[in-house]
Amino acid sequence: MQRKTPLVVGLFALGLIGITAFVLGMQYGRQSDLQPGTAAPTLADAKPLPPVSIVPGPGSQQIDAIRRGAAIDQEIPPPAMARVENTDVKRNRAYPMQPPTIPHSIDNYQVDLNSNRCLLCHSRANADKFQAPPISVTHYMDRDDQFLATISPRRYFCNQCHVVQTDAQPLVANNFQDIDSVLANEKAH
């Protein structure tokens, strides 16, 4: 114990010097050192932000349409679940590369590491038995456009791209124009 006293005193002195240097730096250090050439902005320089309406009114630009204009701190009753269209009627594709929507229900169709229910009907081998359209050639291509013998891993999880058709209304307005109407407009002018 006795022999350690000089060490304790030394450490204490060192700490005291450190704290003093820190306080002096806070008091007298130049703020402009932080940003060369410009003085650091103070609170007095701050301009008030333009007013933002947190509660979007019916006419305003809604950021989150899913909240349907409700205040951020309010809980709103969820909309009714959309009904799945299980009618086998295909919808048109909005553009050639659109993954077609699914014209049948897919309740309880399991897709995981061990089984892929979609491929039961949509694989090349079974498509005739179920009269289902087989997955197209793109589903066999890897990212270097090489054709694989079986479905490409990046096309394995069908629901990543294909969604079931429902009677849900669009959540946000959409002014997408089909290329056919774009071309027709161009021709007309």
Which residues form the interface with ligand HEC (CB under 6 A)?
Answer: 88, 90, 97, 99-100, 102-104, 106, 109, 116-122, 130-133, 135-136, 138-139, 151, 154-162
> Where on the phi/psi map is residue 154: left (φ > 0), alpha (ψ -120 to 50), or beta?
alpha
φ/ψ (deg, to 5) at 141: -90, 135
- Please report how close the Cβ of residue 179 comes to ligand HEC at its closest, in angstroms: 15
- Taking the complex as a whole, how short is the minimal distance between the CB of residue 113 and ligand HEC, in angstroms? 13
| Cβ closest to ligand HEC, residue 73 vs residue 167 | 167
Q: How far is the CB of 82 from ligand HEC (least distance, A)?
A: 17
Cα distance between residue 160 and residue 97, in whole Å: 15
For ligand HEC, the closer of residues 68 and 93 by Cβ is 93
Instruction: Measure the CA–CA gap between 174 and 157, rounded to whole angstroms.
Output: 27
Q: Which of 25, 47, 29, 48 is nearest to 39 (CA)?
A: 29
CB of 112 to ligand HEC, least distance (A): 12
